[in-house]
């Protein structure tokens, strides 16, 4: 067989394989929602179960506020629900304190809202306590939203 033909064939296969990437890539196509706000976060306000809840009115938000802060409903921040929605994200319980959750970016793709975040565990000594992390965000209103939280560091 011709060495030039074999070389061309191997080169073609190599280029094809290098063009394929088996790593998980999260697409950030869509509209970036840069006007998000963290309304509340705590290591002890959540349910301890992975759960995401969308809130679309002040009454329901006030109920959640009382539940997680133990403060009166009147102390809940006023949200303009004609323009915004609330996303309450309950994270899995941790067996130590000090994990920090940071929102990297928020994207809208049709009716899906992708919240890209990282979680950084404590360095060195940490409080030995069962924590139930919770984060409450305000984002631009999306009709019938589906919310996905995407962890970029696996913690």
Residue 19 reports pLDDT greater than 50: no
Q: Are strands 134-140 and 37-42 parallel, antiparallel or unpaired?
A: antiparallel
| Residue 24 pLDDT | 35
Residue 80 has pLDDT above 90, yes or no: yes
Q: Check residue 27 and give its pLDDT.
A: 46
3-state secondary structure of 128: coil
pTM for this model (two decimals)? 0.76
Residues in the chain: 155
What is the predicted pLDDT for the residue at 100?
87
Query: Quick one: pLDDT band at residue 96, thresholds 50, 70, 90?
Result: confident
> What pLDDT is attached to residue 154?
64
pLDDT digits (tens, 9 = 90+) for 32-68: 998 899 999 998 888 889 999 999 999 999 999 999 9
Paired tokens of 124: 């060195």
Q: Are 115 and 147 in contact (CB under 8 A)?
A: yes
3-state secondary structure of 51: strand
Q: Which residue has the higher pLDDT, 12 or 33?
A: 33
User: pLDDT of 86-95, one tens digit each?
Assistant: 999 999 988 8
Of all residues in the chain, the percent with pLDDT exceeding 90 is 55
């Amino acid at each position: 067989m011709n060495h030039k033909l074999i070389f061309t064939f191997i080169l073609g296969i190599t280029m094809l394989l290098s063009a394929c990437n088996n790593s998980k890539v999260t697409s950030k196509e869509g509209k970036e929602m840069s006007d998000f706000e963290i309304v509340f976060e705590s290591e002890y306000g959540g349910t301890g179960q992975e759960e995401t809840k969308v809130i679309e009115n002040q009454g329901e938000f006030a109920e959640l506020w009382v539940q997680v802060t133990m403060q009166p409903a009147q102390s809940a921040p006023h949200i303009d629900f004609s323009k915004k929605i609330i996303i309450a994200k309950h994270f899995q319980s941790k067996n130590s304190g000090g994990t920090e959750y940071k929102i990297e970016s928020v994207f809208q793709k049709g009716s899906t809202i992708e919240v890209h975040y990282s979680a950084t565990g404590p360095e060195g000594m940490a409080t030995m306590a069962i924590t139930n992390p919770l984060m409450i965000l305000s984002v631009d209103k999306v009709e019938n939203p589906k919310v996905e939280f995407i962890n970029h560091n696996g913690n």
